[in-house]
Amino acid sequence: MTIRVAIAGPRGKMGSEAVHTVMKNDNMELVAVLDHREIADSLEDYAEFPNNYCIPVYTDLESLFKTERPDVFVDLTTPETVYKHTKEALLNGVRPVIGTTGFTDEQLEELTELSTELKLGTIIAPNFAIGAILMMKFSQMAAAYLPDVEIIEMHHDRKLDAPSGTANKTAQLIQENRRGHKQGHPDEVETIEGARGADIDGMRIHSVRLPGLVAHQQVLFGGEGQLLTLRHDSFSRSSFMSGVKFSIEKVMELDDLVYGLENIL
Ligand SMILES: NC(=O)C1=CN([C@@H]2O[C@H](COP(=O)(O)OP(=O)(O)OC[C@H]3O[C@@H](n4cnc5c(N)ncnc54)[C@H](OP(=O)(O)O)[C@@H]3O)[C@@H](O)[C@H]2O)C=CC1
Ligand SMILES: O=C(O)C1=N[C@H](C(=O)O)C[C@H](O)C1
């Protein structure tokens, strides 16, 4: 069976890689892309793509769904638009595969309910890279033994959301194995606001944004006389593409929402 795929954000760093990934796969057909700028009617007329990419470009998601009838909708856009896109996909009977980060807990809850109610698979993957998923799982394991944790996530300086989706997901997994408690000195004081980072049940998250970086995370576990550091680096967006391919195939078998690829790998 050929899976009909639509991608939102085709000019982006992730979206353009995903376009090539779907184009290269024999069991998938890229039926349309969604842009929010009127650039051209077909991807072949974009500077980023070769002239055999005769893929229609839409600026309206509803018309894309009604005309092209994709099976799967891949979103790689912005935190501002992703929730609306995901809901629209589900309401049009299209299975979302979402890489865009920045969902609130309330939005995740609502989309989980909608996906279950419609019996339509959805994948929301804060990180598609297998190494990052392993780093998150190992962190969850370590937190049971070393509950004093600080997460340092480091990204390129074009990133819109902080902390990253990966850091949020890591913290959530750790929370399942770590009893919440205040870390550091009980009387510690921040003389500059934010110096100790974001606080999740006493665990800290620090977000670094610098040109030159892609996507990196360290999870530090401190114990008596020791430090365990778990680190993952994505040096290029190609690191995410096997996860994108896997998710497009897997979502066709699901009938509810999965948040995080660690649940289905
Ligand atoms: N899950 C994962 O493994 C990964 C997730 N990400 C996430 O994916 C998202 C995209 O990242 P990245 O590719 O680096 O970002 P980019 O800024 O490079 O790409 C986003 C693209 O989306 C376009 N866009 C914005 N709004 C819309 C809209 N309403 N409809 C269609 N297109 C739109 C932008 O156009 P314009 O620039 O013209 O506004 C841009 O081309 C981020 O949330 C990031 O955190 C990133 C890497 C891995
Ligand atoms: O914006 C990015 O680049 C990335 N976003 C995701 C996140 O927020 O965790 C995944 C990866 O870290 C790259």
**Residues 110-119 pLDDT 10s:** 999 999 999 9
Q: Where on the phi/psi map is residue 201: left (φ > 0), alpha (ψ -120 to 50), or beta? A: left
Q: Is 37 annotated as a binding residue?
A: yes
3-state SS record for 136-161? HHHHHHHHCCCCEEEEEEEECCCCCC
21, 58, 78, 86: which to mutate for ligand 1, most atoms within 8 A of CB? 78
Q: Is 96 annotated as a binding residue?
A: no
The answer on 192 and 91 residing in a single domain is: no
The answer on 110 and 174 residing in a single domain is: no
101, 136, 213: which to mutate for ligand 2, most atoms within 8 A of CB? 101
The answer on 80 and 27 residing in a single domain is: yes
The answer on 112 and 11 residing in a single domain is: yes
149 forms beta bridges with: 221
Query: What pLDDT score does 60 carry?
Result: 98
The answer on 12 and 111 residing in a single domain is: yes
- Burial code (b: 16+ CB inside 10 Å, e: under 16) for 121-157 equals bbbbbbbbbbebbebbbebbebbeebbbbbbbbbbee
Residue 163 sits in a domain whose CATH number is 3.30.360.10
If one counts the domains in the chain, the total is 2
The answer on 202 and 92 residing in a single domain is: no
The answer on 114 and 16 residing in a single domain is: yes
pLDDT category at 145 given cuts 50, 70, 90 is very high
Is the pTM value of this prediction over 0.95?
yes
Average pLDDT over residues 157-172: 98
C-alpha 71/C-alpha 100 separation (Å) is 19
Ligand nearest the Cα of residue 162 is 2
> Between helices 165-175 and 130-143, what is the axis angle to 10°?
30
4 forms beta bridges with: 29
The answer on 178 and 92 residing in a single domain is: no
Q: What is the residue range of 30's domain?
A: 3-124+238-263
Residue 44 sits in a domain whose CATH number is 3.40.50.720
Model ipTM over 0.95: yes
Q: pLDDT (tens digit, 9 = 90+) per residue, 66-109?
A: 999 999 999 999 999 999 999 999 999 999 999 999 999 999 99
C-alpha 87/C-alpha 233 separation (Å) is 31
The answer on 135 and 120 residing in a single domain is: no
Checking DSSP bridges between strand 148-155 and strand 215-223, what pairing results, if any?
antiparallel
79 with 161: CB under 8 angstroms? Answer: yes
pLDDT category at 238 given cuts 50, 70, 90 is very high
The answer on 73 and 27 residing in a single domain is: yes
The answer on 172 and 196 residing in a single domain is: yes
C-alpha 95/C-alpha 73 separation (Å) is 6
Specify the DSSP element, H or E, that contains 188: none
The answer on 30 and 44 residing in a single domain is: yes
Average pLDDT over residues 233-244: 98
